[in-house]
């Protein structure tokens, strides 16, 4: 019987601003986190991610490569960001040229267990719990559902 290849999780090669709080365990690497950001436990933030100042990321959130989150945002428990939209009918399987970026504006709140596909979301948006955002959001307001639609 073989032994598994074990990789340590932790905090590696991160550009932290002032006053950042990280509750461990967390897996955060190769990213940039601005001033006064809070990161809860069991969060993964991958390389090439940028998190704006005063943003709060709650436990169990997953922020994959190619995501930019603005300032004063709230990312709730279990929120998931996706960078592989299955352009080829299935997973890119390591072909990062198939991935796409996600850009989140300032003062955006993303609810518990929301899924954010590669999209752009403008400033001053609320995404409801469990919503699935599949298209760009260009108008401030509250969005919910699967797929997410504007409520107000």
Structural domain includes residue 44: yes
Structural domain includes residue 90: yes
Give the model's pLDDT for residue 11. Answer: 96
User: Residue 60 catalytic?
Assistant: yes
Structural domain includes residue 101: yes
Structural domain includes residue 114: yes
Domain of residue 119 covers 11-150
Structural domain includes residue 4: no
Structural domain includes residue 6: no
Task: Give Cβ neighbours of residue 33 (< 8 Å, ≥ 6 apart).
Answer: 14, 15, 16, 17, 20, 39, 45, 51
Q: What is the pLDDT of residues 66-124, one digit of tens each?
A: 999 999 999 999 999 999 998 888 898 888 899 999 999 999 999 999 999 999 999 99
Whether 126 has a pLDDT exceeding 90, the answer reads: yes
CATH number, domain of 26, equals 2.160.10.10
Peptide bond into 133 cis (omega under 30): no
Structural domain count of the chain: 1
Strands of 109-110's sheet in order across: 21-22, 38-39, 56-57, 74-75, 109-110, 125-127, 141-144, 149-150
| pTM (2 d.p.) | 0.94
Q: What percent of the chain has pLDDT over 70?
A: 100
The active-site residue, picked from 32, 47, 56, 60, is 60
Give the model's pLDDT for residue 6. Answer: 86
Structural domain includes residue 51: yes
Angstrom distance (rounded) from CA 138 to CA 131: 17
How far is residue 107 CA from its own chain's centroid? 14
Structural domain includes residue 92: yes
Give the model's pLDDT for residue 33. Answer: 98
């Amino acid at each position: 019987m073989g032994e598994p290849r074990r990789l340590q999780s932790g905090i590696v090669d991160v550009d932290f601003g002032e006053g950042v709080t990280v509750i461990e365990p967390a897996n955060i690497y190769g990213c940039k986190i601005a001033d006064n950001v809070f990161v809860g436990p069991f969060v993964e933030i991958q390389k090439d991610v940028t998190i704006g100042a005063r943003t709060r990321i709650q436990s169990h959130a997953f922020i994959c490569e190619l995501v930019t989150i603005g300032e004063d945002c709230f990312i709730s428990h279990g929120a998931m960001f996706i960078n592989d939209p299955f352009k080829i009918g299935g997973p890119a399987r390591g072909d990062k040229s198939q991935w796409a970026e996600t850009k989140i504006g300032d003062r955006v709140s993303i609810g518990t267990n929301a899924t954010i596909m590669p999209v752009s979301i403008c400033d001053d948006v609320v995404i409801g719990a469990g919503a699935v955002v599949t298209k760009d959001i260009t108008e401030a307001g509250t969005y919910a559902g699967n797929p997410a639609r504007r409520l107000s």
